[in-house]
Amino acid sequence: MNSKPKVLVAQLGARKHYQEPLLFHQWGILNTLYTDFYSGHNVLTNLLRHPHLYNRLPNFLKKGLERHEPNLKGAKIIHFPIFGYSYVKALNKASPQKASEIFIEGGREFCQRIIKHGLGEIDTIYGFNSACLELFEYAKSYGIRCILDQTLADYSLVHELLLEEEERWQGWSLTPFTVSDADLELMQREHQEQDLANRIICGSNFVKDSLIARGVDSHKISVVPLGRLKNEKSIRHQPLTQTPREQGDELKILFVGSVGLRKGIPYLLEALRQMKGNIPFTCKIVGSLEIKPERIAEYSDVCEFLGRIPRSQVKDLYTWADVFVLPSICEGSAMVTYEALSSGVPIITTYNSGSIIRDEIDGFIIPIRNIEAIVDNLIKIYVKGNYFQNIANNQEYLKGILQESENHFQEVMMSQ
């Protein structure tokens, strides 16, 4: 019988809120978690997390304190806080055109710091796209297994889709997307990581399809939709006994995500424009604004742009909504669809969102760029209400699919 693997996780940032290292810790295979900044568990940080103090802190301190996972207590965690501070500061200051340069430089320095510190007695490295190339190159020379977590579709497809969107919606983006030399270098960096990896983990078939189209061997790709919600307390969405039309009420529509072309926001806004005067509705759009103010003003008669709001308020909006819409053009596996599914609210989304929802069971999966499909399904929910499975079934399905994913993930990690 093979012994358990000894895994080093290289995680730049708090991706998916430490889901993978937490599972490895629970399975007894986490040797070390390397990251840029981790606030940890000590008297000072625990004191600052007390609600009376936490609520008075500036946002940058709150974000720092969120860089921890209580259930990782006791795990070996090594971080580089000065590097982490410089990396986040550079990203926050960088224009979208410069972000790829920061990702490349930050990923390279992160890997070099880990190598310098030492890998220890490990036989597996688990790294994330764009931030593990040098580590994989070093590890392969020692026969160490390399597993890549690919969190987004392959950049060749991302670039293609975003350029098409900029052509379709000229004059929308605050900073129009273009493919720079740094973007191409970052894509090449990720391709090298994919080629070096013994196994690749991705969150959806959409991501897997993009990797296969790029030329990656399908046999080394595993689809593992890990969507553990940070707050495991269920959001309660009351089932409707009457449809919005029967109640004489407006259809309440919710969008959560960055308000830009990648998330498909123009298609939702155009759908709302087409519905105006046909059915009564109200729409709330939550997330950082990446489109020009004049576009926001142009559609302010059909929706309310709330900008970024605290997570507690977002949870309340899931309960408020009759339907959640995410017409995304390109994702890995959008966490907001897991949150909406957990709340029991019907979802209208695309295959490209990487969602785990079931078409006409939990909502509707529609083609990208299809305004008519958004309109048709919004009207259908207004007329028929939430005729999908009730919240208990939604949450049972979510619990089951996540457990199945964890089991599959464990099989992949334990195989040598």
| Burial classification of residue 279, based on how many CB atoms lie within 10 Å of its CB (0-12 exposed, 13-18 middle, 19 or more buried) | middle
Q: Taking residues 170-175, what's their average pLDDT?
A: 95
Six-digit token pair at 299?
């559609």
The pLDDT value recorded for residue 68 is 85
3-class DSSP state for residue 266?
helix
pLDDT at 407 over 80: yes
The pLDDT value recorded for residue 315 is 87
* Least confidently predicted of 37-51, 90-104, 125-139, 288-302: 37-51
* Least confidently predicted of 98-112, 142-156, 176-190, 373-387: 373-387
Q: Taking residues 70-75, what's their average pLDDT?
A: 91
| Burial classification of residue 392, based on how many CB atoms lie within 10 Å of its CB (0-12 exposed, 13-18 middle, 19 or more buried) | exposed
C-alpha 359: how far from chain center: 21
Confidence of residue 169 (pLDDT cuts 50, 70, 90): very high
Choose the CATH number for 7-223 among 3.40.50, 1.10.1060, 1.10.150, 1.10.8: 3.40.50
pLDDT, tens digit, 9 for 90 and up, residues 273-288: 999 989 999 999 999 9
Q: Taking residues 145-174, what's their average pLDDT?
A: 97
pLDDT at 294 over 90: yes
Q: What are phi and psi of 241, to 5 degrees?
A: -90, -20
Partners of 282 in the beta sheet? 252
Confidence of residue 7 (pLDDT cuts 50, 70, 90): very high
pLDDT at 374 over 90: yes
CB 266 within 8 A of CB 368: no
Instruction: Quote the DSSP letter at residue 306.
Output: E
What pTM does this model have?
0.89
* 94 compared with 144, residue with greater pLDDT: 144
pLDDT, tens digit, 9 for 90 and up, residues 213-248: 999 999 999 999 987 655 545 444 455 555 666 665
Computed over every residue of the chain, the mean pLDDT equals 90
Q: Taking residues 150-172, what's their average pLDDT?
A: 97
Residue carrying structure tokens 């499975």: 389
Give me the CATH code for the 244-399 domain, please.
Answer: 3.40.50.2000
pLDDT at 1 over 50: no
Non-local (6+) Cβ contacts of 263 within 8 A are 255, 257, 287, 326, 327, 328, 329
Confidence of residue 172 (pLDDT cuts 50, 70, 90): very high
* 386 compared with 15, residue with greater pLDDT: 15
Give the residue range(s) of CATH 3.40.50.2000 domains in the chain: 244-399
CB 14 within 8 A of CB 66: yes
Question: What percentage of the chain has pLDDT greater than the value 90?
Answer: 69
**Would the CA dihedral through 119, 124, 128, 130 be positive or negative?**
positive
pLDDT at 324 over 50: yes
Partners of 349 in the beta sheet? 326, 365
The pLDDT value recorded for residue 310 is 78
Residue 163 and residue 180: Cα distance in Å, rounded?
12
